[in-house]
Chains A and B, each alone.
Chain A
């Protein structure tokens, strides 16, 4: 019999207790995990920093312990972080590996493990992709997301969390206006059996990497990926159907937007992540006369760092020499001291730019956005490679 969609939420001062209780309110882990099953847990571990950027180690640990309590044979934990960051950096160097192995989990460094090609029959744009073999072979799949805002998708919750299952090449495919549909296509292939959202310490503003801390002190659990995303985005002060992943997912039958909610009433207003690339920032001018959505998205992600911390650094963009950033096609001529051509479409318009120096970011779109940040920082005369280091030095 099909289970009714339910979202449970527990608010408290102890993150471990919140995680345990939210699953208990949902009916207990025994409803999802049976004796002798193998479980694959996919937490959001996008970078080698900690909460509120990634899921708190204690939330994952409690879920691992619960799975074993329910009689699981093996519990795997794995994620493929952002492009340019190795799983090892996130899982080993942060201490997560030791901490979770102590609870009995087997850590899977996805970028070092086997992937299996899959075909999503009903998919609209993302039909063929690879998924970790450990996930395919596991009996159950648990998706643990972090409650955060995101400059491209508004929020990043369980639907967006699926991105971390992919290999770098698959990650950049459809990373444009089709991004939300891509996650729906993935969910059409395999939906999580249990979803958990760590909303203890959340991120607001220019997420997913450079926002501000927002404390909700709660953890949510659900049997429906659309229901939990709907519920969380509502808590965050968004119109849930404004979130494309939720709307498309609901429309295409991934899950329900009508569900039973068990827990306290929480309504917050998260600082919104939306921003448009400005036309001018100090002496930097931005151009995109023929839109290139993919490059615009990656530039937005990278630029959010500078926007978010420009005040903290009190960095004077005015001190820069005249710089033009082109992130789409051009249909009229422009002049600048230095021109930064962002993406293949901008590079094709090079003959429309008169400049002394050219910097090119190849790709459609340029995929390695951490490298983009580093290059931008170099161009803007900021040493972002040792980002914090430079901030600390002076």
Chain B
């Protein structure tokens, strides 16, 4: 092994990986060669210094910031909590349907609307109980539909702020 071979090999050798056989031969040569001895020592020192590069510490608030962020809902958790609100879709459709029927009754298209025909059909007007009463007193039907819609909107808004929703998936 000569100086040229050692210098070339050092360029493509990671001393940390310790190719002992090659190192022994190189050291044997370096005992009689100051140039190669210096080159080996310099490479070894550089690798040591790179391994000892100081760490960069984050700010003191780092841990708290991370823990705070993981305590918040992940996007998937938010989607999941929103998904549960689809259970309110059915009452929403019923309320909006009732409101639509009431509006159609109040503003029929010159008496030709099938909705107004439906509203005045004997099957509906002869009903008993709440349906029969509401069919004969349209203003109350409108009021009830409006109230139900308001309650629905309030419920949707409240579920957005629910702490249980914020903790979904993190307990």
Q: Is A bound to B? A: no
Query: B: which residues have CB within 8 A of A?
Result: none
